[in-house]
A = this chain, B = another copy of it.
Amino acid sequence: MRINIIGRGNVGSHLVEALQDKAEVTMVNPHAPQTLDTDADITLIAVSDAAIGEVLAQLPPVAGIVAHASGTTDMSVFDDFGINRDRVGVFYPMQTFTKGKELCYEKIPFFLEAKNKADLEELRELARKISPLVYDADSERRRALHIAAVMSCNFVNHLFAMSEQWLQENGLDFKIMLPLIEETVQKISEISPKQAQTGPAVRKDYETMQRHEQALAAHPEMLEIYRLMSKSIMG
């Protein structure tokens, strides 16, 4: 398989690495699309949602399937940008990619969509070279997944970052939280998160919550998050 990967950010660079021994990969700088392999079987656009249009506007004529890697962008983006082709699709890896951070590629779930069946099968074949977790998902389903990924990964990580900042200010090391965090995640592979909920809010322990709010008084942003999350847990 000959693959173009347009985009050298977190997603693009990891896809290149994941595929380098399994396909003939051409890395393409989105600002210099003329380096693209025009005979590629699949051209993947792995850039931020806002930049997809720009890439499409500059895309040289290319054989094969053109697919983007976005969770939230509709497959119809190709029509919107006048890419009048039948062979388009979506190749969305639902994972948190950080450049330089090694990743277990076989744990990336891929959600795929294509305008026609044969291309969907070809995208599946590509995804299976990386991971066994390969699913079909239309644009609406994929957007729902992406929103859940933002909640379960990006927002979760931000809470870790907030904890880290708070502990640092109190002379404590964030690493001390790791056993608790590991158990928090271990639990939800066995029981539903709703059942797994613990802490002052679900116990309606107003005394503890009030003390925490007092302690957070100098951090209006953390306090706002503390209040909103507690309110939401109390239901």
Contact = CB atoms under 8 A, between A and B. Distances in A.
Interface string A148-190: 1111111111111111111100111010111111111101111
A1 interface: no
A203 interface: yes
A101 B196 contact: yes
A184 B96 contact: yes
A215 interface: yes
A71 to B, nearest CB: 8
Q: How large is the interface on A (under 10, 10 to 19, 20 to 34, 35 or more residues)?
A: 35 or more
A68 to B, nearest CB: 13
B193 A161 contact: yes
A154 B161 CA distance: 15
A32 interface: no
A197 interface: yes
Contacts of A148: 163, 166-167, 172, 174, 177
A107 B182 contact: yes
Contacts of A190: 101
Interface string A124-165: 000000000101000001011111111111111111111111
Contacts of A150: 199-201, 212, 226
Contacts of A224: 228
B181 A193 contact: no
Contact of A215 (B147, B188, B228, B232): B147
A216 interface: yes
Interface in A64-114: 70-73, 94-98, 101, 103-104, 107-109
